[in-house]
Structure 1
Amino acid sequence: MGLSDDDWNNLGAYVSPIQVDENSTKKDCIETMISRAYDYLGTEYIVGASGKPGQGVDCSGLVMQALYAAGINPSPVNVIRHSQPGYEYESRNLFNSKKFKKISYKNRKRGDLIFYSNSNGVIIHIAIYLGNDKVIESWPNKVVVWPIKNSHRSRIAGVRRVFN
């Protein structure tokens, strides 16, 4: 795929530095999470990756890096496990995490996590809601801002709130 050995090692070992502190408000944390996701705009989509901006990331990897920057550790979901065979699609585990509050689609807010399913109801994708029916996501072939529903995926399985 044109990646060096160093790139492959870092695609599953990088953790975004925390960019908030104990004085940060909920709004600060949400904006930090979204800002960190924006750092990845245009970054190549690579399944199982969660590297540095510009290096390679998939949908779960993008969300994990945004969460880390906002001071949220989604453990047991983490970047090292995510890079291992069988854990490439951590969106399913994030969907089921007790760390995030279940929210109805109609009550979604900026900073919520949007989960998508396939026709069988299996969770296959995750994005960060920006407001105004837009999300930031890593979807083949790169990180983009798109409408929450579009021709590539429209089956929303649920919404989870990171910051209550």
Structure 2
Amino acid sequence: MKNRLIKTLAGITLSFSIVFSGVALASPQSASAATVSKSDVAEKVIATGKQYLGVRYKFGAPAGRTDMFDCSSFTQYVFKKNGIKLPRSSRQQAKVGTYVPKSQLQPGDLVFSDTNRDGVINHVSIYMGNDKLIHTYRVGIGVTISKFKGSTWDKTYVTARRVI
């Protein structure tokens, strides 16, 4: 009788351990499905930027304002809305994240230019993919989408950084 009870309890214990190990194996799949990919974040950053198309340009626009931007306050704001903290100036932003060669740009990468051609980074834009940038750079234009290849931004390109 005692032997039979031990075998029954062992069988029940083994059955429960098999059932619960199956649940544990299924959990990582549901957790990975909830993980947000880098491309999803890039899409959200670009979509956030597009919400501000046409917002006026003002050099030195204060951080956090959405009625005016300069290039780096725009990138700082758009990335912050998507959980990524950037420094305030384009020169400071060019030092964060990881270096990306121009030939390997992906949507969401920051593109830095020296439009004054004085050896100092003075402009930042967001690469959208398909040879396009979203940025702001001049009074009367405001936040806009520009072609990259062959543009001023391409001709004065200094570096790119991946912060996503």
* Whole-angstrom CA distance in 1 between matches of 2:144 and 2:132: 10
Q: Does 1:91 align with 2:79?
A: no
Q: Does 1:145 align with 2:142?
A: no
* Whole-angstrom CA distance in 1 between matches of 2:64 and 2:78: 12
Matched AA of 2:127: Y
| Structure with the largest fraction of helix | 2
Matched AA of 2:92: N
Unaligned runs of 5+ residues in structure 2 are 1-33
Give the structure 1 partner of residue 122 of structure 2: 124
Matched AA of 2:41: C
Shift in CA distance, 109/123, structure 1 to aligned 2, threshold 3 Å? same
CA RMSD after TM alignment: 1.8
Give the structure 2 partner of residue 104 of structure 1: 101
With normalisation by structure 2, the TM-score equals 0.70
Give the structure 2 partner of residue 160 of structure 1: 161
Report the identity percentage: 30
* Whole-angstrom CA distance in 2 between matches of 1:122 and 1:110: 24
**Deviation for aligned residue 1:25:** 2.2
Q: Is the radius of gyration larger for structure 1 or structure 2?
A: 2
Aligned residue pair count: 126
| Aligned structure 1 segments of 4 or more residues deviating by more than 3 angstroms | 50-53
Shift in CA distance, 51/42, structure 1 to aligned 2, threshold 3 Å? farther
Matched AA of 1:146: S
* Whole-angstrom CA distance in 2 between matches of 1:116 and 1:47: 16
